[in-house]
Amino acid sequence: MGKRILLLGAPGAGKGTQSKRLAETYGVEHVTTGDALRANKDMETEYGTPRSFMEKGELVPDAVVNEIVEAALEDADGYVLDGYPRNLSQAEYLTEITDLDAVIYLKVAESELVERLTGRRVCDDCGTNFHVKFNQPEEEGVCDDCGGELVQRDDDTEETVRERLSVFKENTEPVIEHYRDEGVLVEVDGEQTPDEVFEDVQAVIDDA
């Protein structure tokens, strides 16, 4: 059985970047809630299909998300979970359906998260990410990969970023405390370079 890893962190902490590297390194699935929902939009649950909520612009209920994630984990020979559990009830459900080898929290100060997220620029054509400070394109405003225009996403404005961080604190910080209380949470300094973060995360997993 492959490693079963849970990566926690606020928006902008680097979960997506680190999860992809971990999935490649350990040969496991990168499981995100969004991908799992998109891949199973028409999966029937007793509460309806994810599509029935998504098309109305409604949040998919925990019970439906739980079933979708459970199906994704059952099909995976090891995984990195990224973006789930988002709240305490999802964390309790996860405990019922699987055993985790490592629970890692990428810790980043709020001021750093705001700087990271508001500085992100995305290619309008191919979706490649850049950053005005940390990962600048060769030519300002132009994608290195395809020459498309780099834009700031609506959810990367400071007002929206602070709202997203507020939602994270309210919903997901209790999840972090839950795993800390269980004695299984390992904190990694997410303000290091991506390579340094990866080395620390890898050390935690290899030690587990």
Tell me the per-residue pLDDT of 53-83, one tens digit each, with 9 for 90 and over: 888 888 889 999 999 999 999 888 999 999 9
What global pTM score does this model have? Answer: 0.86
CB distance 52 to 35 below 8 Å:
no
Distance CA(43)–CA(177), nearest Å, equals: 32
**Residue 121 annotated in active site:** no
51, 107, 162, 164: the catalytic one is: 164
Distance CA(23)–CA(81), nearest Å, equals: 10
41, 86, 162, 180: the catalytic one is: 86
Among 102-106, 130-134, 147-151, whose mean pLDDT is lowest? Answer: 130-134
**Residue 93 CB neighbour total at 10 angstroms:** 20
**Residue 21 annotated in active site:** no
Percent of the chain with pLDDT over 70: 100
* Banded pLDDT at 46 (limits 50, 70, 90): confident
3, 15, 21, 121: the catalytic one is: 15
The helix or strand, by DSSP H or E, that contains position 102, with its residue range, turns out to be strand 102-107
**Residue 169 annotated in active site:** no
**Residue 116 annotated in active site:** no
Q: Is 107 helix (H, G, I), strand (E, B) or coil?
A: strand
3, 4, 116, 120: the catalytic one is: 120
